[in-house]
Structure 1
């Protein structure tokens, strides 16, 4: 019996592996630069590529400061002190809002029980106290071209798993990566920089 499976990145997509609504965990030593140590929520994955948001990298910028920069006033505590996240190295001057429930906003992609919104109206709703109760705001996103993410997965650069909204919205940012590993049954210590040492 011959093994005629197509293991190329294109073949992976052709077999229907869709990583939308999944977490990607960067493997130590395999993913470098801006995405090293990141936990990414994949918003969209098609044959054209993938778009995701880093959800464990808060910046020094708060929502209140961000709102000031776009000429909106946000005085609602504790929302105003919520950090804005580094969402990835692409379009770092653009805001992305991952939120639940989905709601009805101008430029919004529904992602199951979550939504990704890039239009200003979701921020206006937050400023008015009528925004989604659970949200994560990022500047920038992580992007992959056609076949690029599949290629990186085949090189074991990323672990993938079903996304857990509790990790996104209820776990402290620095604990999100280890919390995702634990859901996979992996002890974070096993991945610490000691790989290869007895």
Structure 2
């Protein structure tokens, strides 16, 4: 189900992918896929999952003082390969980790099903020591909308929505996520119109 049909059933779009339409006016969100962590009458919060940062995870750990350069060389492969996404334009100095529910600390917020969000340095230490969650996606910054703003953008044909797919959320093929998620819901990007329809 897409857009307003989904909203009519549940009221909110938690645990959905937002997929930017080709005519997206805001360059920061062009060809972006956002995982919606929370959506309510007060607004919405999500993480862009397909825009990479140039910063390596090991460099981030060194910057934060979690590891020194010698320790960073000995990072477990899984930690060394963890990519960092640009989660959105809000609070870009703050880190957020979307992850599987096999890792929980006091600050962990369950999002939906098997997915949680942790925004404290504890999870970075756990990942660097090989004690982190089975699946993780790290982002700097997030995407946020005020009350009614996201609904308006969807109504104006800015976004497609679909239920989130956990495999696509956590897989490492960041560059092709946009096209693969569209293919998953049976949408050919060349057939998408940038015009909103009104009956």
Q: Are residues 186 and 13 of structure 1, via their aligned partners in 2, closer, same or farther at CA, if it must alter by over 3 Å?
A: closer
TM-score by length of 2: 0.85
Say yes or no: does 1:144 pair with 2:145: yes
**RMSD over aligned Cα atoms:** 2.2
| 1:148-188 deviation line (CA, Å, top 9, x unaligned) | 00111111100000000111122500111111101110123
Cα separation, 2, equivalents of 1:169 and 1:13? 25
User: Secondary structure of the equivalent of 1:60?
Assistant: coil
Cα separation, 1, equivalents of 2:169 and 2:110? 16
Cα separation, 1, equivalents of 2:7 and 2:19? 20
Q: Could you tell me which residue of structure 2 aligns to residue 71 of structure 1? A: 65
More deviation, 117-126/139-148: 117-126
| Contact preservation (8 Å) 1:19, 1:45 | yes
| 1:27-52 deviation line (CA, Å, top 9, x unaligned) | 11134221111000000001110000
Aligned length: 183
Stretches of structure 1 that go unaligned for 5 or more consecutive residues are: 1-8, 194-198
Q: Could you tell me which residue of structure 2 aligns to residue 36 of structure 1? A: 30
| Contact preservation (8 Å) 1:102, 1:114 | no
User: Secondary structure of the equivalent of 1:173?
Assistant: coil
User: Secondary structure of the equivalent of 1:58?
Assistant: coil
Cα separation, 2, equivalents of 1:172 and 1:191? 23
TM-score by length of 1: 0.85
Stretches of structure 2 that go unaligned for 5 or more consecutive residues are: 195-199
More deviation, 178-187/166-175: 166-175
| Contact preservation (8 Å) 1:102, 1:115 | no
| 1:80-129 deviation line (CA, Å, top 9, x unaligned) | 13321100000000000000125221322102210010011111111221
